[in-house]
Structure 1
Amino acid sequence: MSPFQPQQLIDFVYAEARLLDEQQFDAWLALFTDDGHYWMPLTPGQTDARLQASLMYEDTLLLKIRVERLSGQRTYSQQPKSRSHHLLQQPTIEAQHPWHNPEQGHYAVRAAFHYVETRIDEQALYAGWATYELIAQGQELRIRQKRVDLVNCDSALRSIQLFM
């Protein structure tokens, strides 16, 4: 297995955001490893998702349930459907991150973002950083964990319907 090049890691992050904005949730979900997690900490600098409360800490089963809910015909909170747009700063390779070890096929990538979620006449803007722990599985990359740190994570937030 040859290590992934930095541009391939950057392209992966951009493609992941595009899948979300195009509401290709099944394809997005397929990017996660079987033991993958989507984590949104509740406090700045939070270090543990299990011993501290989080805005979200979802394994692939919970993510699958949320994806099914988003496409369900009886999901009234999604009639009409929410839409999103990610604006990403160019992702950076986080070589100092504890997970990052290209020789083992482990990569850490971080991207600052502005995220807009809209439904009917309401629009919400969020800003923060997404940190991806990626793992090489054969010739493909998979998400072991996506951590979304909102600038205002400890504020009273509206219900977030989609994925950042």
Structure 2
Amino acid sequence: MLVDYDLREQVSEFIYREARLQDTHAYDDWEALWTDDALYWIPANGDDPDPEREMSIIYDNRSRIALRIKQLHTGKRHTQTPRSRLGRIVSNIEIAECDGDDIHVRANAMVFESNLRGETVWATRNEYLLRKDCDGLRMARKKVVLVNNDKPIYTLSFLI
């Protein structure tokens, strides 16, 4: 699929900005990236289970995303006291499809987390549905498939 260079650059910058906001715990700014009909999904036990019928690590609509961020702001998320130090590398950004204002994107990421428990490396395959609006790009869907989601996950209290 041939993609306009300017669009590829806008998409890449959006994905990099989202990663930076997550790594720096700028959750209010991260929340502002989402559309009103947003869906944030981290499946458990496989790449593509049915989230309506099977357990997910996260399966949040827009209001649940806002509630999750409010909970992080309370300081009562004890697994995030002190906050994890995060560093993520995003790669393989690929525009899979453009359909009007909707842009389907795939990317990989490695997230390094350091906290009181030690260090953890999270490998992910991400799928995004980005939407163009008058303010630029916004995120309507994000699916994060942890490469090791078939194994026990001891805690995932930051937003991946």
TM-score, scaled to structure 2: 0.89
1:143 is aligned with what amino acid? M
Measure, in 1, the Cα distance between the counterparts of 2:141 and 2:89: 20
Measure, in 1, the Cα distance between the counterparts of 2:146 and 2:75: 30
Q: Which has the higher strand share?
A: 2
In the other structure, the counterpart of 1:131 is 127
Task: Trace 1:39-118 onto structure 2 (pairs within 5 A).
Answer: 39-95=41-97, 100-101=98-99, 104-118=100-114
Q: Contact between 2:80 and 2:158, CA under 8 Å: does it hold in 1?
A: no
Note the residue ranges of structure 2 that are not aligned, 5 or more in a row.
none
Q: RMSD value over aligned CA atoms? A: 1.7
Out of 33, 37, 40, the residue aligned to residue 39 of structure 2 is 37
Q: Give 3-state SS (helix, strand or coil) of 2:111's partner.
A: strand
Identity %: 28
**Could you report, residue by residue, the CA deviation over 1:8-57 in whole angstroms, capped at 9, with x for unpaired residues?**
01111011101111111000001111110110111323153222221110
In the other structure, the counterpart of 1:163 is 159
**Could you report, residue by residue, the CA deviation over 1:36-92 in whole angstroms, capped at 9, with x for unpaired residues?**
011011132315322222111011222212212222233333221122111111411
1:161 is aligned with what amino acid? S
TM-score, scaled to structure 1: 0.87
Across the two proteins, how many residue pairs are aligned to each other? Answer: 156
Q: Contact between 2:39 and 2:140, CA under 8 Å: does it hold in 1?
A: yes
2:156 is aligned with what amino acid? I
C-alpha displacement of 1:156: 0.7
Measure, in 1, the Cα distance between the counterparts of 2:76 and 2:146: 30
